[in-house]
């Protein structure tokens, strides 16, 4: 895993990805939290506290091998990604809230993700110091994640037209570089891929479905309106598997291909489960609205 492609490509890919996120963000995105405090606080609480605890229980229940267990916890600690914004838009969620949650979660993850990974490494591997994200590696994550985001936001603030022109090429470039790096990693582990998918597939599916359900159900139980609850559901249910894979594979961070397997499997599964979730929630909403209209006319 210490190839030049991995050593150089992964930090570049992650930096480009975070630059692209920054090009689409403004300070107002963070201020929106004040406009939707209840939904935002509940969603962030689920993301930061509830999901890692839930994932830990699933890992124990499925009795995953240590490296895959740590990979699952890494996935659980990863924030929502821009894919959540797309699904929220397609299925009538509150996209502005999604953008805000993505931005806040991306910042919080710099601090919460190393804590979760260290604790998971200590529990499953017996030695957090040998594999976890120590302070110097936290600083590396901070630099790779936040500095490109800040640069992107600065470009958007000073020259919005430049940000608009760069947005698409930056996204395409990040995907190309990341695919090349992941393909190299997969080829190196090709003899074990099928076994890893069998070992972690059900755990990943269960975690994904529970994340979507909790992300929507908890806000609804707390009285959050439906579009904001949909936004929370997609934000919490669609983790940034790209970030989890990058951290797992990067030689400067975890440098462990097995830990990238849960994120890779999740990155495939989530597209189908998220679409099914959006369809089912919208059907329920439509039936509820029809029932209310019928009750009002009788």
pLDDT of residue 186: 59
Distance between CA 56 and CA 146 in Å, rounded?
27
Q: Tens digit of pLDDT for each residue in 64-73?
A: 989 999 999 9
% of the chain surpassing 70 pLDDT: 72
For residues 73 and 163, which has the higher predicted lDDT (pLDDT)? 73
The answer for 126, left when phi > 0, alpha when psi is -120 to 50, beta otherwise, is: left
Residue in 167, 142, 143 with CA at minimum distance from that of residue 156: 167
The token pair at 121 is: 């490494």
The token pair at 188 is: 């190196």
Confidence of residue 145 (pLDDT cuts 50, 70, 90): low
pLDDT mean across residues, the chain? 78
Q: Tens digit of pLDDT for each residue in 89-139?
A: 778 887 777 777 877 777 787 778 888 888 888 888 876 554 444 555 556
Q: Tens digit of pLDDT for each residue in 250-259?
A: 776 777 888 8
**Looking at residues 140-160, what average pLDDT do you find?**
77
Residue 3 has pLDDT above 80, yes or no: no
Contacts of 14 (CB under 8 A, 6+ apart): 144, 145, 242, 243, 246, 250
**Looking at residues 140-154, what average pLDDT do you find?**
74
In the chain, helix, strand, coil percent, each to 5? 85, 0, 15
**Long-range contacts of residues 138-144, Cβ cutoff 8 Å, at least 24 apart:** 138/110, 138/111, 138/114, 140/252, 140/253, 141/110, 141/113, 141/114, 141/247, 141/253, 142/110, 144/11, 144/14, 144/15, 144/18
Q: Tens digit of pLDDT for each residue in 196-241?
A: 677 788 999 999 999 999 999 999 999 888 888 898 999 898 888 8
Distance between CA 193 and CA 273 in Å, rounded?
22
Q: What domains does the chain contain, in order, with CATH numbers?
A: 4-297 (1.20.1530.20)
Give just the sign of the alpha carbon dihedral 59, 181, 240, 286: negative
Round to the nearest angstrom and report the end-to-end CA distance of the chain: 68
The token pair at 71 is: 């990979």
Contacts of 264 (CB under 8 A, 6+ apart): 182, 186, 241, 245
């Amino acid at each position: 895993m210490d190839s030049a492609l991995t050593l150089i490509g992964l930090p570049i890919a992650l930096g480009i990805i975070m630059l692209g996120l920054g090009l689409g963000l403004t300070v107002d995105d963070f201020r929106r939290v004040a406009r939707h405090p209840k939904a935002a606080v509940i969603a962030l609480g689920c993301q930061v506290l509830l999901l890692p605890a839930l994932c830990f229980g699933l890992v124990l229940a499925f009795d995953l091998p240590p490296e895959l267990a740590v990979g699952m916890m890494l996935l659980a600690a990863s924030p929502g990604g821009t894919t959540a914004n797309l699904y929220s838009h397609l299925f009538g969620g509150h996209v502005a809230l999604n953008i805000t949650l993505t931005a806040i979660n991306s910042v919080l993850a710099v601090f919460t993700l190393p804590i979760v990974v260290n604790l998971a490494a200590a529990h499953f591997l017996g030695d957090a110091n040998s594999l976890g994200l120590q302070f110097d590696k936290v600083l590396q994550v901070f630099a790779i994640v936040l500095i490109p985001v800040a640069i992107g936001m600065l470009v958007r603030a000073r020259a919005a037209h430049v940000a608009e022109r760069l947005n698409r090429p930056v996204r395409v470039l990040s995907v190309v570089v990341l695919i090349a790096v992941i393909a190299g990693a997969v080829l190196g582990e090709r003899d074990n891929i099928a076994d890893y998918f069998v070992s972690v597939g059900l755990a990943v599916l269960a975690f994904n479905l529970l994340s979507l359900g909790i992300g929507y159900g908890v806000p609804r139980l707390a009285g959050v309106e439906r579009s904001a609850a949909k936004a929370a559901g997609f934000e919490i249910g669609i983790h940034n598997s790209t970030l989890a894979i990058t951290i797992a594979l990067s030689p400067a961070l975890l440098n462990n291909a097995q830990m990238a397997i849960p994120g890779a499997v999740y990155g495939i599964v989530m597209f189908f489960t998220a679409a099914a979730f959006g369809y089912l929630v919208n059907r329920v909403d439509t039936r509820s609205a029809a029932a209310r209209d019928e009750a009002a006319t009788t």
